[in-house]
Chains A and B, each alone.
Chain A
Amino acid sequence: MKGILAWLGGLRPRLVVAFVLVALASSAVAGAVSYRVARDALLADAQNTAMARTLNEVNAALPTLPYPPNQTALDAFARSLSGNVLVTYGDTLQARSGGPAPDALAGLRRDVPQHDGLRYQRVVVDGVPWLAYGSRIATTDGRPSGLEVYGLADLSGPQHSIDELARTTLQFTLLSLIPAIALALLAARGVLRPVRGLREAARRLAAGELDTRLRVRGSDELAELVSTFNDTAEALERNVNRLRRMESDARRFVADVSHELRTPLAAMVAVTDTLDEEAGGLSGDAATAARLISSETRKLATLVENLIEISRFDAGGAELRLDGPVDIGAAVSATLAARGWTDRIDTDLPQGIMADVDRRRLDIIVANLVGNALSHGAPPVTVTATRVRSVPEATAESAAGTVAASRVAEGVAVTVADRGPGLSPEVGPHVFDRFYKADTARGRSEGSGLGLAIALENARLHGGVIEACNRAGGGAEFRLILPRYQQRHQQPAREGAR
Chain B
Amino acid sequence: MCTVHKVLLIEDDAAVRDGLEVALRRQGHEVRAASTGEDGLAQLRSSPCDLVLLDLMLPGIDGFEVCRRIRAAGSVPIIMFTARGDDLDVVGGLEAGADDYVVKPVEPRVLDARIRAVLRRADREPQERRSHGDLVIDRAALTVAKAGQPVALTPTELRTLLELSRSPGRVLNRQQLLQAVWGHDHLGDSRLVDACVQRLRAKIEDNPSAPVYVQTVRGFGYRFGPV
- List residues of A (242-285) whose CB comes within 8 Å of B's CBs: 259, 262-274, 277
Q: In the complex, which residue of chain B has the Cβ closest to the Cβ of A495?
A: B216
B186, chain A: closest CB distance, angstroms: 4
Assess whether A266 is in contact with B22, with CB atoms less than 8 Å apart: no
Any A CB within 8 A of the CB of B35: no
Query: What is the size, in residues, of chain B's interface with A at 8 Å between Cβ atoms?
Result: 40
- List residues of B (207-227) whose CB comes within 8 Å of A's CBs: 208-209, 211, 216, 218-220
- Chain B residues with Cβ below 8 Å from A323 are 173-175, 190
Known: A259-B84, A359-B187. A496 touches B19 (CB 8 A): no
Contact among B13, B86, B197 for A267, CB-based, below 8 A? B13
B127, chain A: closest CB distance, angstroms: 28
Assess whether B173 is in contact with A262, with CB atoms less than 8 Å apart: no
- List residues of B (120-163) whose CB comes within 8 Å of A's CBs: none
- Chain A residues with Cβ below 8 Å from B104 are 262-263, 265-266
A442, chain B: closest CB distance, angstroms: 27
A105, chain B: closest CB distance, angstroms: 110
Any B CB within 8 A of the CB of A216: no
Q: In the complex, which residue of chain B has the Cβ closest to the Cβ of A333?
A: B186
Assess whether B105 is in contact with A270, with CB atoms less than 8 Å apart: yes
- Chain A residues with Cβ below 8 Å from B83 are 259, 262-263, 266
Any B CB within 8 A of the CB of A489: no
Any B CB within 8 A of the CB of A492: yes
- Chain B residues with Cβ below 8 Å from A494 are 191, 194-195, 198
Assess whether A270 is in contact with B108, with CB atoms less than 8 Å apart: yes
Q: How far is the CA of A359 from the CA of B20 in the complex (A)?
A: 30
- Chain A residues with Cβ below 8 Å from B108 are 269-274
Assess whether A267 is in contact with B19, with CB atoms less than 8 Å apart: yes
Q: How far is the CA of A81 from the CA of B208 in the complex (A)?
A: 130
Assess whether B19 is in contact with A268, with CB atoms less than 8 Å apart: yes
- The digit string for A218-260, where 1 denotes a CB below 8 A from any CB of B, is 0000000000000000000000000000000000000000010
Any A CB within 8 A of the CB of B1: no
Q: In the complex, which residue of chain B has the Cβ closest to the Cβ of A363?
A: B187
- Chain A residues with Cβ below 8 Å from B220 are 324
Q: In the complex, which residue of chain A has the Cβ closest to the Cβ of B202?
A: A498
Assess whether B23 is in contact with A265, with CB atoms less than 8 Å apart: no
- Chain A residues with Cβ below 8 Å from B84 are 259
Q: How far is the CA of A53 from the CA of B209 in the complex (A)?
A: 121
Assess whether B19 is in contact with A270, with CB atoms less than 8 Å apart: yes
- Chain B residues with Cβ below 8 Å from A317 are 86
B215, chain A: closest CB distance, angstroms: 9
Any A CB within 8 A of the CB of B16: yes
Assess whether A267 is in contact with B187, with CB atoms less than 8 Å apart: no
Any B CB within 8 A of the CB of A338: yes
Dominant secondary structure at the A interface: helix
Contact among B19, B109, B208 for A266, CB-based, below 8 A? B19
- Chain A residues with Cβ below 8 Å from B197 are 495
Assess whether B16 is in contact with A263, with CB atoms less than 8 Å apart: yes
Assess whether A266 is in contact with B174, with CB atoms less than 8 Å apart: no
Q: How far is the CA of A308 from the CA of B185 in the complex (A)?
A: 23
Any B CB within 8 A of the CB of A12: no
Q: In the complex, which residue of chain A has the Cβ closest to the Cβ of B18?
A: A267
Any B CB within 8 A of the CB of A321: yes
Assess whether B173 is in contact with A271, with CB atoms less than 8 Å apart: no
Any B CB within 8 A of the CB of A50: no
Contact among B22, B186, B194, B209 for A338, CB-based, below 8 A? B186
Q: How far is the CA of A262 from the CA of B85 in the complex (A)?
A: 11
- The digit string for B84-126, where 1 denotes a CB below 8 A from any CB of A, is 1111000000000000000011111100000000000000000
- Chain B residues with Cβ below 8 Å from A353 are none
Q: How far is the CA of A266 from the CA of B110 in the complex (A)?
A: 13
- Chain B residues with Cβ below 8 Å from A319 are 87
Q: How far is the CA of A360 from the CA of B185 in the complex (A)?
A: 11
Any B CB within 8 A of the CB of A388: no
Assess whether A496 is in contact with B219, with CB atoms less than 8 Å apart: no
Known: A324-B173, A360-B187. A267 touches B16 (CB 8 A): yes
**Which of A259, A267, A308, A360 has its CB near the most chain B CB atoms (within 10 A)?**
A267
Assess whether B105 is in contact with A265, with CB atoms less than 8 Å apart: yes
- Chain B residues with Cβ below 8 Å from A265 are 104-105
Any B CB within 8 A of the CB of A331: yes
Assess whether B23 is in contact with A274, with CB atoms less than 8 Å apart: yes
A68, chain B: closest CB distance, angstroms: 133
- Chain B residues with Cβ below 8 Å from A272 are 107-108
Q: How far is the CA of A27 from the CA of B198 in the complex (A)?
A: 88
Assess whether B22 is in contact with A270, with CB atoms less than 8 Å apart: yes
Any A CB within 8 A of the CB of B73: no
Assess whether B13 is in contact with A271, with CB atoms less than 8 Å apart: no
Q: In the complex, which residue of chain A has the Cβ closest to the Cβ of B102?
A: A266
Assess whether B16 is in contact with A331, with CB atoms less than 8 Å apart: no
**Which of A263, A270, A273, A334 has its CB near the most chain B CB atoms (within 10 A)?**
A270
Any B CB within 8 A of the CB of A301: yes
- Chain B residues with Cβ below 8 Å from A301 are 105
Q: In the complex, which residue of chain B has the Cβ closest to the Cβ of A321?
A: B190
- Chain B residues with Cβ below 8 Å from A363 are 186-187
A192, chain B: closest CB distance, angstroms: 51
Chain B residues with CB under 8 Å of chain A are 13, 15-16, 18-20, 22-23, 26, 81, 83-87, 104-109, 173-175, 185-187, 190-191, 194-195, 197-198, 208-209, 211, 216, 218-220
Chain A residues with CB under 8 Å of chain B are 259, 262-274, 277, 301, 308, 312, 317, 319, 321, 323-324, 331, 334, 338, 359-360, 363, 492-496, 498
Known: A268-B105, A359-B175, A359-B186. 5 other contacts (CB 8 A): A263-B16, A266-B105, A271-B19, A494-B194, A498-B198
7 examples of A-B residue contacts, CB within 8 angstroms: A266-B81, A271-B19, A301-B105, A338-B186, A363-B187, A494-B191, A495-B194
